[in-house]
Amino acid sequence: MQEQLTPDFNDYELIDTGDFEKLERFGRYVTRRPEPQAIWRRTLAEEEWRRTADASFRRDARSDERGEWRLAPGMPDRWAVEYAYKRMRLRMRLGLTSFKHVGIFPEQAANWNFIYDSCRALAGGEPSGGERVAEFGSSVSGGGAPKVLNLFAYTGGATLAARAAGAEVTHVDSVRQVVTWSRENMELSGLEGVRWIVEDALKFVRREVRRGSRYRGIILDPPAYGRGADGERWILEDNIGEMLECCAQLLEPRGAFLVLNLYSMGLSSTLARTAVRQAFGAPREEQWGELCFTDRAGKQLPLGTYYRFTR
């Protein structure tokens, strides 16, 4: 089923968008950042943007990616936000990076909910509130902690969602500082027991295939381009095929789920669906589309595409 998703995230608000920028509230503080997909005009005046923003990112003229933050008085370089869903309570530390990122992608909360519900169902937990969750086969009805693999895991929102639901989680990212940040988020959320791996994701899954490892859930959030821990090159269009083929060998044939996110402009959710179905076959239940937020003026901003299934 194709569907646009927007999570209910009390500590986040998209205030205004346009002229290739976005104005956002994270908890108590408002940031101003570049946004290449905001091709329309802003609703609020420039003076209002300047007055509202606690931190504004300005690109370095010598770089397409890096820049610096200009801070209003009283704006810290680190703070925390909270996210709640059912019995899940996450607390995550934010920070102002030279790549314009702040430590979370709030639109991903829609996938955190799916991951939490899926892991609860696999572990034998009862869904609450009558909401639709993934239904799994009788082969997992006995419960137990499902093994979940989170690849390109960044600061760990999906990792924490799975762990909060009782899963045994392996968190893989090639940047040691980011894994340290993820561990901080785990501790802030009152969780423990995550397996941390600092390694190139493709190298890791190749080894897991040789070991015959199996997982009940796999989460992938690959960048368009990146470097592994030992300098390995990742180019999405070149490497995603092999990555999906390896993951298809790692995912259990029944009682399992997969989540794939794509952030590269021009790569659609239909493309993701086609690539996944070729590697994994047709699932029992699937969902794909865009992850979006809507600003105060009603302008809807797509922030990434997703594909997810259960089988």
Does position 61 have pLDDT exceeding 50, yes or no? yes
pLDDT in tens, 282-291: 999 999 999 9
Does position 128 have pLDDT exceeding 60, yes or no? no
Other CB atoms within a 10 A radius of the CB of residue 191 amount to 18
User: Cα separations (Å) of 90 from 161, 198, 201, 274?
Assistant: 8, 23, 25, 33
Q: What is the pLDDT of residue 236?
A: 93
Lowest mean pLDDT of 126-135, 251-260, 269-278, name the range.
126-135
pLDDT in tens, 148-203: 999 999 999 999 999 999 999 999 999 999 999 999 999 999 999 999 999 999 99
Residue carrying structure tokens 């980011």: 178
The token pair that represents 203 in the structure block: 């190298």
Could you tell me how far CA 143 lies from the centroid of its own chain? 26
pLDDT in tens, 80-118: 999 999 999 999 999 999 999 999 999 999 999 999 999
Rounded to whole angstroms, the Cα distance separating 189 from 2 reads 32
| Residues recorded for the chain | 311
Does position 125 have pLDDT exceeding 80, yes or no? no
Per-residue pLDDT band for 141 (boundaries 50, 70, 90) equals: very low
Rounded to whole angstroms, the Cα distance separating 183 from 165 reads 17
Per-residue pLDDT band for 65 (boundaries 50, 70, 90) equals: confident
pLDDT in tens, 220-247: 999 988 888 888 899 999 999 999 999 9
Per-residue pLDDT band for 138 (boundaries 50, 70, 90) equals: very low
The token pair that represents 166 in the structure block: 């009782």
Prediction pTM value: 0.92
Rounded to whole angstroms, the Cα distance separating 253 from 283 reads 10
Contact 214, 250 (CB under 8 A): yes
DSSP string, the chain: -B--B----TTEEEEEEETTEEEEEETTEEEEEE-TT--S--SS-HHHHHHH-SEEEEE-TT-SS-EEEEE-TT--SEEEEEEEETTEEEEEEEE--TTS--S--GGGHHHHHHHHHHHHHHTTPPP-TT-------GGGTT--PPEEEEES-TT-HHHHHHHHTT-EEEEEES-HHHHHHHHHHHHHTT---PEEEES-HHHHHHHHHHHT--BSEEEE---SEEE-TTS-EEEHHHHHHHHHHHHHHHB-SSS-EEEEEE-STT--HHHHHHHHHHHH---SEEEEEEEEEE-TTS-EEEEEEEEEEE-
Could you tell me how far CA 4 lies from the centroid of its own chain? 15
Q: Which of 80, 102, 92, 209 is nearest to 158 (CA)?
A: 92
